[in-house]
A and B are shown apart, each in its own frame.
Chain A
Amino acid sequence: MKEKTNVNDIDRSLYDFRNEEDESEYFDSGLSKEIIRAISDEKNDTDWMREFRLRSLEIYQKTKMVDWGPSIEGLDVDNIVTYIRQKSRMNTDWEAVPDDIKDTFERLGIPQAERESLAGVGAQYDSELVYHNVRKEVAESGVVYTDLESAMHDERYAEMIRQHFMKLVPPTDHKFAALHGAVWSGGSFVYVPKGVCLEIPLQSYFRLNAKGAGQFEHTLIILEEGSYLHFIEGCSAPKYYEAGLHAGCVELYVGRNATLRYSTIENWSKNMYNLNTKRALVEEGGKIEWVSGSFGSHVSYLYPMSILNGRGASAEFTGITFAGEGQNLDTGAKVVHNAPDTSSYINTKSISKSGGISTFRSAVTVNKNAEGSRSAVNCESLMLDRISRSDTVPVMDIRTNKADIGHEAKIGRISDEAVFYLMSRGLDEDSAKAMIVRGFADNVSKELPLEYAMEMNNLIGLEMKGSIG
């Protein structure tokens, strides 16, 4: 690579820098009504939101810990700082962002990416958005892209948000959804009016700097009939010994004949627990396209769900997971076919090395009313050594016989024969293996935004270096 382009630096040291923290801005760790009320005060919550948070806390306290995936014993929620007050208010002027935070995002290449290839950018630092901006022409088309808190206090959107907020992912869904409902902070609100097609993407970048803290951003996107949006989210954090927690929530409403492409690159440091919930509701003829790259975190639970609620609605999920040393990444996708002639296509690749564990889970439900629906699930895993693990857990619940369902799973190890073949042409062992892994990931990396695809290729090269055991 000649030079750094957008958000694409791969050298982990790039993510792995910390800023000075001002501990006086930390709320007490743990969870109590007092803390929740304090967050509400800080955010000047409306009454319904105050109640919503407290109710979520009750649900959280009553709900049992998730117990079906990788162990989260190392996570002590009582010791997680749920809210960190920001020293400055959200800005639309980059220059007004405090220097240390500005420097963080500069190093991550965000402002440059905004200038070069994005229609709008949001940047969250710990608990709060510090910057949000959209190009003038985008704003003029009626597109709204701002932080959820501002939108909630804007009478034009307040009711819309109230009707949609945590309706797809209710706090009763699981323990961390309840936690999210209680302490959520930051995130983005996007509204695309009828017929508006955004040619260039919007991007939100989430950075958790504080140690032993949680990030609980909420992303709410509403696409009206016939609109198009590509939304990109990126996540990173520096490495600490204390466990960090990311329990974000993404709710996507895709209107009739609208298409939403939602790309995520998650590169949390390896002390993070990434317990994220993402869900899309798709109306007649609409389409959700998920593109998901999971590279970071210590433990991940991530299975974006698509609910196909109108005739002809469709979902495509393209994902890649790379589990290295000390990582247990449980990822996959869920689809509910809840209308006739709906279709879904899930295509994932997972790679595990140096003792990493990668588990693919899928759940496809085809309801009785979903006649004429089609679903295809494809998952491939590649293990790079004998100490790494890979599993697939596909679940299908088909309630009509008028549906076309397919599933294919392949688990394999990197073949010695293939490595020898490439080496016999002059490639050293690292390069040969990296080439095989890159090839394996190719049809997924092609779907990633260019700078992320480059980042992934570099990451593979880096991870493969000296991997020979």
Chain B
Amino acid sequence: MSEHSSHSAASHEHGFAHPMPVPMLLAVFASLIFFTILTVVLNGAVPDFLELPVAMLIATIKALLVMLFFMHMVHDKLFNVFAFLSSVIFLGLFIISTLVDTGVNQPAIKEYRLTTPLVAPVQK
């Protein structure tokens, strides 16, 4: 409780708010627009195998900018940050397990398709 109070006292001018400075908001906006233009320009300009990794890297930089500054994560409680990041971890788990499953089973599915004659759907 005392920690709570001293925290509030330290920033009593705006209560418990942490207003983001306008220049910072504008700088984040300018960076986001820059990265959007960059990703469109790089589309088709980088080797095919780099296309997706580069696009995802730029998207992740943009996402981090939005989360840290527009969503105020820099000033937020660590618990809230962990709660939110847990969903990202789960998303990663879902995608990795999907890729592993596809990698393991897809060759077998393809082989089955090639070796098994197609059966026409039953006409009623």
Whether chains A and B associate is no
- Measuring CB to CB, which residues of chain B are less than 8 angstroms from any residue of chain A? none
A→B interface (CB under 8 Å): none
